[in-house]
Structure 1
Amino acid sequence: MGRMETDIFRCVECNEKAPELHRDYSNGILKITICESCQKPVDKYIEYDPVIILIDAILCKTQAFRHILFNTTLDIHWKLCVFCLLCEAYLRWSLLHGSEQSGDPADIIRYAKEWDFYSAFGLAALELSAFCGGALWFLWAATGRLRGGTPELRLLLRALLLSCYGKVLLIPAVIWEHDYSPLCLGLIKLFVLTSNSQAIRVILNCSRRVSLAAVCFGLLSETCVAQACRRLPWSVQDVLAFD
């Protein structure tokens, strides 16, 4: 385990700062540090299997989020962000060409090279930027917590990107197409927003009301950007129609 940008660890139970997670004695003996505030292990998850940590994160447990966001050097948020955007772009592309797809693999390759797939990726990236920007602006204006410097802002942006991991579920939802797919997609969206809210709550140690309001404002920003893009006087499909 390495230190994060704030150069400090956090107790997963009470969120108090801690200088270390464990102490390494001779002969490979490790002793987990006990929090001075709550008298519980600072981070019980350092002994847990990654699968258990993932399950607790999926359940949006505060302790699991604190472990991941404060006490690990997990630095895959940008890669995860790109992968999630690809998942969302694939979803939009498949919905656009669902009626045109056939069993021929050549069709899939041909459609993947069309500009509408890249435009879907660009639109998804723009909407994600609007969501993060709207949520961060709300937190800056409402709480003033982000005015002190960039470390907390970086942590919050990293938390928002990592908490979008639920978008990976878009791929199986599209592959295993079913009559209830719209309901599944709605539940996935709700799960991602819930994870976003929990991530904000963990980083800022704020109330659930503030984190939910920030997520709602971010969602409003995302929706406005999406509607504005749909109402543009031109689109990629229109441009391709003239080729």
Structure 2
Amino acid sequence: MSASVKIGEESLMCVNCGRRVNSLYIQYSPGNIRLMKCENCKAVADPYIECEFMIILIDLILHKPKAYRHLLYNTLNLKSVNIKGIIWRASLLYLLLDAFRVFLLKTSNDGWNSSRSSFMSTSVCGKVLLDVFLGNIAFVSVLLLGTRFLIDCSFSITSYLEILLAVFVSSFFKMYLVAMMVWEFPSHVLYIIDVFVLSSNAVAFQVSTQQETIRCIIICLSAHAAKFLTDYWT
């Protein structure tokens, strides 16, 4: 019986120990596969291959590094997908959700009525866009500078792209802002979502850099603090 092996030139990763692997499974026929084991930890390299999306999503919400390794390295494989296209789409969605967050925050703080025509006014839109632009410039700058000087100064461009992709993807908690279009929530819910985004970013950042947890938390916390202060200043 002939078998086909999925090979990623060591760009794939064992979700258990974080070591690079050549393949995740052997496919004998459509729907008939055998999961490969990691040579380092001797466990199945990626059991998420056989899991439903909801199980993966739940583990992402629970901040499990295994789920982030599966998503970032075995699903969004940089050597097999258009990384620039994914980053552009992820960053666009990230900025749109962030703009909605800023608008909700300003609506809560200033007492604006979202149903009024002022929402479409040039001054309101310009202020929201300015906050989003400056805040995220500060966020990305501190994130990359922290990576440059506190972790490894020899990182390549691809490594920085991996970090940006990890941060954008792990900010999926911002999707909960969409629920605020349907139901009314107190303003402090926005800050609760920010905390979840921060913690999720820290886990994804650690997975993408494979560095100490405390350093990853400090860098992510500093980046979010820079963004918060920029938003407060503007």
Moved more, 188-197 or 20-29: 20-29
Q: Distance in 2 between matches of 1:3 and 1:207?
A: 29
The match for 2:64 is 61
Structure 2 unmatched ranges of 5 or more: 1-5, 78-82
1:68-101 alpha-carbon deviations (Å, 9 max, x no partner): 0100137644323322322332233345456453
Contact 1:91 1:174 in 2 (8 A): no
Query: Aligned in 2, Cα 1:40/1:102: closer, same or farther, shift over 3 Å?
Result: closer
Specify the SS of the correspondent of 1:39.
Answer: coil
1:191-238 alpha-carbon deviations (Å, 9 max, x no partner): 00001100111011111101111112212322343344x2xxxxxxxx
Matched, 1:80 2:87: no
> TM-score, length-normalised on structure 2?
0.82
**What aligned pairs does 1:23-172 form with structure 2 within 5 A after superposition?**
23-26=26-29, 28-73=31-76, 76-97=86-107, 99-101=111-113, 107=116, 111-112=119-120, 114-144=122-152, 146-172=153-179
Specify the SS of the correspondent of 2:26.
Answer: strand
Specify the SS of the correspondent of 2:37.
Answer: coil
Identity %: 25
Q: Distance in 2 between matches of 1:173 and 1:92?
A: 13
Q: Distance in 2 between matches of 1:96 and 1:125?
A: 16
Specify the SS of the correspondent of 1:21.
Answer: strand
The match for 2:228 is 223
Contact 2:148 2:155 in 1 (8 A): no
Q: Which has the higher strand share?
A: 2
Q: Distance in 1 between matches of 2:38 and 2:95?
A: 39
Q: Distance in 2 between matches of 1:92 and 1:28?
A: 46
Cα deviation, residue 20, structure 1: 1.0
1:156-208 alpha-carbon deviations (Å, 9 max, x no partner): 11101111111121232354224xx2332221110000011001110111111
Query: Aligned in 2, Cα 1:211/1:119: closer, same or farther, shift over 3 Å?
Result: same
> TM-score, length-normalised on structure 1?
0.79
Contact 2:107 2:114 in 1 (8 A): no
Specify the SS of the correspondent of 1:37.
Answer: coil
Q: 2:208 aligns with which of 181, 203, 209?
A: 203
Q: Distance in 2 between matches of 1:102 and 1:27?
A: 51
Matched, 1:185 2:197: no
Question: Max radius of gyration: which structure?
Answer: 1
Cα RMSD for the two superposed structures: 2.6
Query: Aligned in 2, Cα 1:25/1:185: closer, same or farther, shift over 3 Å?
Result: same
Report how many aligned residue pairs link the two structures: 220
Query: Aligned in 2, Cα 1:187/1:93: closer, same or farther, shift over 3 Å?
Result: closer
1:113-164 alpha-carbon deviations (Å, 9 max, x no partner): 54422431342233123112202211210122x5242111110111011111
Specify the SS of the correspondent of 2:75.
Answer: coil
- Amino acid paired to 1:52: I
Cα deviation, residue 65, structure 1: 0.3
